[in-house]
Amino acid sequence: MTQVLVLNGPNLGRLGIREPDVYGSATLADLAETCRETGRQLGLDVTVRQTDDEAEMIRWVHEAADARTPVVLNPAAFTHYSYALRDALAMRTAPLVEVHLSNPAARESFRHTSVVAGVANGTVAGFGLQSYQLALQAIAKLVGAGTPGSAP
C-alpha cells in the first residue's frame, strides 16, 4: 500500500481550542482519524504528524524525499516565511499537496504569500478537515493508488 505522510506545522496541535471560529472544533486527533480513514478508502497508508519545530519538520521532509513518500503538508505559519522549509520541499521525489484549514487568501495580508506553493503539485485551502480529504484524493490520483499495476 502507498505510504503517505500528513505533516502539520506549528500550533496545529492546539486544534479544538485554537481560534475555533477560524479553525473549527475538531482536534488534531480528530484530524488524524479523518485522514487515516480517508486513506483506507483510497488505498493509502496514512501517517499523521505535528510539530512546532522547524528543524523537525525539515527532517521529516528529508525523510519523505529519501523514501519517495508523498506528502500532504499544512505548514501553518511556516507557509508564509520559511525559505528553509521551501528549500527542503524543493528536493521532493514524490507528490506534495499543500493544505490549509482556513482560506489564507481571505485573511490578513501576511497570509496571502505562500513560499511553499511554488514547489507543491497544488494547494487545497478553506474547507476545514475536508481540505485534507481533498488533498489525499489528489495524492491517490497522482500516485495511481488502488489501480491495477500501481506500485505496492
Question: Among all residues, which ones are annotated catalytic?
Answer: 23, 100
47's enclosing H/E stretch is strand 44-50
CB of 111 to ligand DQA, least distance (A): 4
Decide whether 53 or 66 has the Cβ nearer to ligand DQA.
53
Q: CB-wise, 11 or 121, nearer to ligand DQA?
A: 11
Q: Cell 499537496 sits at which residue?
A: 97
CB 81 to ligand DQA: min, Å:
10
Smallest separation, CB 77 to ligand DQA (Å)? 4
**Is 1 or 117 the residue whose CB approaches ligand DQA more closely?**
117
User: What angle (nearest 5°) sits at the alpha carbon of residue 44, between those of residues 41 and 48?
Assistant: 105
User: Locate cell 525523510: which residue?
Assistant: 63
Angle between helices 28-42 and 129-143 (to 10 degrees): 30
| 11, three cell numbers | 500550533
Q: Which residues bind ligand DQA (CB under 6 A)?
A: 11, 74, 76-77, 79, 100-102, 104, 111
